[in-house]
Amino acid sequence: MNSRKQALMWVGGGLGAAACFAAMVWGVASYLARNPSQNRGTEIARGDGVPGEQRKDVRDEGPPRRAAGPRMAFDFDDVVMDGDGLPDFDMPIAGGGRPALPEDVKAIRGPAVAAKEQTISGPFTHGQLSVFLVHGKGAREASDVMTLQEALDRGLATVHEGGICIDNRSDKAIFVQSGDIIKGGNQDRTLPYDYLIPANAKRFPVQVFCVEAGRSFPRAGELSASFSTSTERLPTKELRLAAYNRNQGAVWSNVSRLQDMLGREMGGDVRGALSTTSLQLTLEHPAVQNGSQEFLTRLIRTPDKSEDVLGAVFVINGRLVSGDVYSSPELFQKFWPKLLKAAAVESMSVGRSDATSGVSPDSIREFLAAETSSVMRQDTGGLAHMIRGDTRTALVFDTCTSGIVMHRSLIAK
């Protein structure tokens, strides 16, 4: 009798323990869903933006569940789309950095280039995409800098999988541009910030976000230990803002949204057969390649008419979208094809409207020269610092080194 009672007590105790364990698992899952800081979908640098120890790699995560996605300062699910299919929002800056005093900004950024010293040409238009070129005197030649793709092509760089880091085996610095996509490894990634990686640096850590939800193994014919190419850039400003704001869920949802929009505009699914969630494979899809090639054929040689082009500002269906200005014409030329391809894909995704452009060279000049407020400094490691600011019309990201602005990226509000 006693043994029977004892057995029943053991069974009851076991059931109670199982119930407590299930409750604990449910509680932890609920907490993670409510707290974005616990989102393991990204490899995150330390809070001040300095690359540090890497957290759990994104390859362990599946696609986000939109109903229980992580909260953030700006929720991309709440973006209001206007009649042109372009976002209409006032985007707050989030994630990392510390306030920068005016004297600090001056020391890091160097003397600002007066707007009157820059001239604007254009628009140069094909379909719904218009390009304005920024002309001026460069502050630094690009002969001592390589792009990441140049270094990969020459076998002078390796981008390692795992805690993502880069070996630079050249005697030149490698400039990684914000929004660059790296293809391969166990899943494609994007780098949200500019990096200037010193010559001969080993295992230089960089922050990345996944642009291919769900895959955690090498694709056919690709290496899993490293990444092979960096030929594409994040095409839309929503994607770039999601990456800047360190929100993996928003990156994933905007990749899916872009794929849906391109498929709708192009009359067929543009997801890759080997990985339907891969942004890189969507950008390599024949329909997307052929469509973007029309824009490249018409616009790629536009800067060739002048030797002093420092940057470009893009307008889609009559609305300002983004701009990039560099410290030299040579550096701009290195990135121009990638910039134009990204702008072409973004314009293809929204289709063409009957909107007339109210954008003029004067408004472009105002867009570029507006005074910044809420200035923050963010250290990304290496040879550069980032200054983030807010203007009436744009979010501004300055990558500074040796007292000059090497790259200014502007995203229109």
The answer to whether residues 281 and 271 touch, using CB atoms and an 8 Å cutoff, is: yes
| Mean pLDDT value of segment 322-330 | 94
Residue 94 or 312, more confident: 312
**Alpha helices (runs of H) in 113-244, residue ranges in sequence order:** 148-153, 237-244
Which pLDDT does position 6 carry in this prediction? 46
Which pLDDT does position 97 carry in this prediction? 62
Q: Indicate the pLDDT class of residue 376, thresholds 50, 70 and 90.
A: confident
Residue 231 within a domain: yes
Q: Which domain holds residue 327?
A: 101-412
DSSP 195-214: EEEPTT--SEE--EEESSTT
- Cβ atoms within 10 Å of 298's Cβ, excluding its own: 16
Residue 293 within a domain: yes
Hey, what are 273's tokens? 């057969």
What is the pTM (predicted TM-score) of this model?
A: 0.76
Nearest to 345 by CA among 263, 235, 253, 264: 235
State the Cα angle at 155 between 153 and 158, rounded to 5°: 100
Measured between its terminal Cα atoms, the distance across the chain in Å is 77
Residue 85 within a domain: no
Q: Indicate the pLDDT class of residue 113, thresholds 50, 70 and 90.
A: low
Q: Is the model's pLDDT at 388 over the cut of 70?
A: yes
Fill in the amino acid letter for 412. Answer: A
Say which range, 68-72, 154-158, 182-186, has the weakest mean pLDDT: 68-72
Q: Indicate the pLDDT class of residue 89, thresholds 50, 70 and 90.
A: very low
Spatial separation of the C-alpha atoms in residues 55 and 173, rounded to whole Å: 27
Number of domains in the chain: 1
119: three-class secondary structure by DSSP: strand
Residue 361 within a domain: yes
The answer to whether residues 185 and 371 touch, using CB atoms and an 8 Å cutoff, is: no
Which of 66-75, 90-99, 165-174 shows the highest mean pLDDT?
A: 165-174
Parallel/antiparallel/unpaired status of strands 204-205 and 165-168: antiparallel
Q: Indicate the pLDDT class of residue 356, thresholds 50, 70 and 90.
A: low
Residues 6 or more apart in contact with residue 29 via CB below 8 angstroms: none
Spatial separation of the C-alpha atoms in residues 329 and 134, rounded to whole Å: 10
Q: Is the model's pLDDT at 29 over the cut of 70?
A: no
Residues 6 or more apart in contact with residue 120 via CB below 8 angstroms: 132, 133, 134, 135, 313, 361, 364, 365
Report pLDDT digits (tens) over 241-255.
999 999 999 999 999
Spatial separation of the C-alpha atoms in residues 43 and 104, rounded to whole Å: 29
Residue 198 within a domain: yes
Residue 51 within a domain: no
- In the chain, helix, strand, coil percent, each to 5? 35, 25, 40
Query: What does each C-alpha distance from 204 to 137, 192, 261 come to in angstroms?
Result: 32, 15, 36
274: three-class secondary structure by DSSP: coil
- Give me the chain's average pLDDT, please: 78
Nearest to 65 by CA among 283, 258, 256, 264: 256
Spatial separation of the C-alpha atoms in residues 79 and 92, rounded to whole Å: 13
| Mean pLDDT value of segment 174-191 | 96
Which pLDDT does position 71 carry in this prediction? 27
Which pLDDT does position 80 carry in this prediction? 32
Q: Indicate the pLDDT class of residue 77, thresholds 50, 70 and 90.
A: very low
Q: Tell me how many helices (H) and strands (E) the chain has.
A: 9, 22
Spatial separation of the C-alpha atoms in residues 402 and 413, rounded to whole Å: 30
